[in-house]
Amino acid sequence: MTTWMPQAPAPARVPAGASVEGDGIVIGAGPITIDAYIDFQCPFCKQFEEVAGPALDRLVAEGLTSDVYHPMCFLDRLSTDHFSSRASASSGCAADGGRFREYARALFANQPPEGGPGLTDEELIEIGRSVGLADPAFARCVLDRHYLDWSAYVTFVAGRRGVGATPTVTVDGVSVPANPRAIVAAVAAVAG
């Protein structure tokens, strides 16, 4: 028996460095894939970045992993101005400028509280400048909300995969706790 499933709404464009599926930004080229589903409005994602970020960076630097970050807009409902969507879209602009990882860190470092307005587009642009995205193309990309449909696509695909909370982490498709010890152990187990 075949079950019909609607197709994901394909975005008009995807950022530089996008995964083959187009639903995340790939950092590194190692053989083991770590998928991290994040939301820039999520305080637990900020904590995940602070605690696990250095371990993820080390695994990439050692050539062990390809880390795929899926910036979702899961928490738009907790913002009065769709901050999750706008932050996700602006991270796509940062990927085009080759600074996704640095920009993501800076977004978490400047995370607004849930329940109110997020950062303005001008503040998103200033955060980009602080990590070396001074090209006017980055500012235009943010102001034009160039990757807003991509943000919705990332979230849609994550939902189809069963992701119902952020942060969610998988190592080669197997869910693991979102902490560095569990992630490093899972990578070691896959590496043999």
CATH, domain range 25-191? 3.40.30.10
- Per-residue pLDDT for the chain (192 aa), expressed as one digit of tens each? 333 334 557 899 999 999 999 999 999 999 999 999 999 999 999 999 999 999 999 999 999 999 999 999 989 888 889 999 999 999 999 999 999 999 999 999 999 988 888 999 999 999 999 999 999 999 999 999 999 999 999 999 999 999 999 999 999 999 999 999 999 999 999 999
Structure tokens given for 117: 């307005």
Whether residue 6 contacts residue 144, with contact meaning beta carbons closer than 8 Å, is answered with no
- Give the pair of three-digit tokens for residue 86: 């706008």
**Residue in 162, 148, 153 with CA at minimum distance from that of residue 9:** 153
Answer yes or no: pTM beyond 0.85.
yes
Q: Which residues sit opposite 26 in a β-bridge?
A: 68
The domain spans of the chain are: 25-191
Q: For residue 145, give the nearest of 85, 72, 73, 78 by alpha carbon.
A: 85
99 close to 128: Cβ distance less than 8 angstroms: yes
